[in-house]
Amino acid sequence: MAEIQTRTVAERDTRHRPVAGTHASAGERGKLWAFLSLLLFAGCKTPRRMEVRSTPPGARVLLDGKDTGRSTPTEVLLDTSVQRYEVTLEKAGYNPARQEIRRSTDVDVIEADELACTVLCSPCCLGLPLLDALDELVTVKTHYHPREVDLRLDLAGQGIKLRVNPPDAEVLIDQVLHRPLESNTYVTSPGFHELEVRAAGHRPYRTTLQIDALTYVEHRVQLEVEGEGLLLSIHPSGARIYVDDQLVTIADSSPVRVRTTPGAHSLRIELESHRTSEDVIQVQSQEYRELTVELARAGQGVIVRPPQGWGGSGVEVWIDQSLAATEFGEPLVLTPGQHSLSIRAQGFEPSELSILVQENQFLEVVPTLGRKNDARR
């Protein structure tokens, strides 16, 4: 249900009176507010505008069962002296949609500071000239920000709103094949119904749903792939996957589904310039075992990452006084041991570092680059 809020904002601006050079006395202000309160509680009614929308549009708008003569999208006026409203939307071929509005929760209670604005908006009052005549210290501007009622209408009747993956699956209700209506809606009679969802290469899904009158039950179905095997997420992509020393696929996307028989299998993953990953995996019957594999780079060296918020250009990475790269993020293979590292960029002071590279490890470095002092004498 959409939240409804109606608000009036009062802004007051004070200025000095030329007579005494000071603000109005407490007695004068008391008289002003007493007069305004008398006007308000004497029966003034302040209408508030409310926007009403529906999906689909074109629904009739009823307030407390009375037709307003308007259809969505539209605006209706509410009398804030009424504590409760029921908004009903009706459209041929759809179930009615209702929302209750209570002043205590959906319409702002008017505070003391907003009292003057409420009076000024009331048709029984004289408006801003009246307030200015009573007290020239007060200037009032009024506006309000109503939020809309936005309701979704269901198809007439009751049934199931179904979300299925894969989307081309067949849906059977009480063993009868059904085709969805708009928004994947299936209309049924009230009561208990057998739902079956099936698709080629997937295990069928079956359940029993209870459907109440004029109610649509939302239900999601994720079909499981038939068989058993491995569901592999491999980074970076492009690796070759071997199961029991047989090439089965190349992991160009992730995840990769590899079907196998139940039992123990050797898994080998190879990618150029990366260390090979090897393991023995146990596969259970009627299950896909999920694995995530991060392939480490072969060899050792350094990767220079850009500083946070980097927006410069023209970077150079020097290793042992030799230019090694002209961009951040490029893996640089080095021999194990101590190396000098220099990062130079246009408009920045060079960053000089000494790094220790260990065997079979890539060291990641994020330099701190200070801007050059361009101040002129």
- At 210-225, the pLDDT tens digits run 999 999 999 999 999 9
Provide the pLDDT for residue 29: 58
Mean pLDDT of 60-70: 95
Provide the pLDDT for residue 253: 83
Residue 111, pLDDT > 80, answer no
Shared domain for 50 and 144, answered yes or no, is yes
Confidence band (pLDDT; 50, 70, 90) for 78?
confident
55 CB contacts (<8 Å, ≥6 apart)?
150, 151, 152, 153
Shared domain for 114 and 177, answered yes or no, is no
Provide the pLDDT for residue 103: 64
- Last residue of a domain, which of 151, 174, 198? 151
Shared domain for 289 and 238, answered yes or no, is yes
Provide the pLDDT for residue 128: 47
Portion of the chain with pLDDT greater than 70, in percent: 75
- Specify the range with the lowest mean pLDDT, choosing from 4-18, 168-182, 202-216, 289-303: 4-18
Stronger pLDDT, 357 or 136, i.e. the higher one: 357
- Last residue of a domain, which of 237, 271, 294? 294
Q: State which residues form the domain around 70.
A: 8-151
Shared domain for 252 and 335, answered yes or no, is no
**Total tally of structural domains belonging to the chain:** 4
Segment 272-312, tens digit of pLDDT? 999 999 999 999 999 999 999 999 999 999 999 998 888 77
Amino acid code (one letter) for 261: T
Does 374 map to a domain? Answer: no
Tell me which H or E stretch contains 274: none
Provide the pLDDT for residue 69: 94
Mean pLDDT of 68-78: 92
What is the spatial distance between Cα 266 and Cα 243, in angstroms, rounded to a whole number?
Answer: 6
Q: What is the CATH number of the domain that holds 255?
A: 2.60.40.1120
The pTM of this model reads 0.57
Confidence band (pLDDT; 50, 70, 90) for 25?
low
Shared domain for 76 and 209, answered yes or no, is no
Shared domain for 240 and 347, answered yes or no, is no
**DSSP calls for 220-233:** EEEPPBSSEEEEEE
Residue 332, pLDDT > 70, answer yes
Shared domain for 202 and 317, answered yes or no, is no
Residue 332 pairs in a beta bridge with 302
Does 371 map to a domain? Answer: no
Distances (CA, A) of 172 to 11, 47, 197, 199, 200: 62, 52, 6, 11, 15
- Match 């993020």 to its residue by tokens: 329
Does 2 map to a domain? Answer: no
Altogether, the residues listed in the chain come to a count of 377
For 112, list phi and psi in degrees, rounded to 5. Answer: -60, -40
Shared domain for 144 and 171, answered yes or no, is no
Mean pLDDT of 153-168: 95
Does 140 map to a domain? Answer: yes
Shared domain for 113 and 33, answered yes or no, is yes
Residue 145, pLDDT > 50, answer no
Strands 185-188, 158-165: parallel, antiparallel or unpaired by DSSP?
antiparallel
Residue 123, pLDDT > 80, answer no
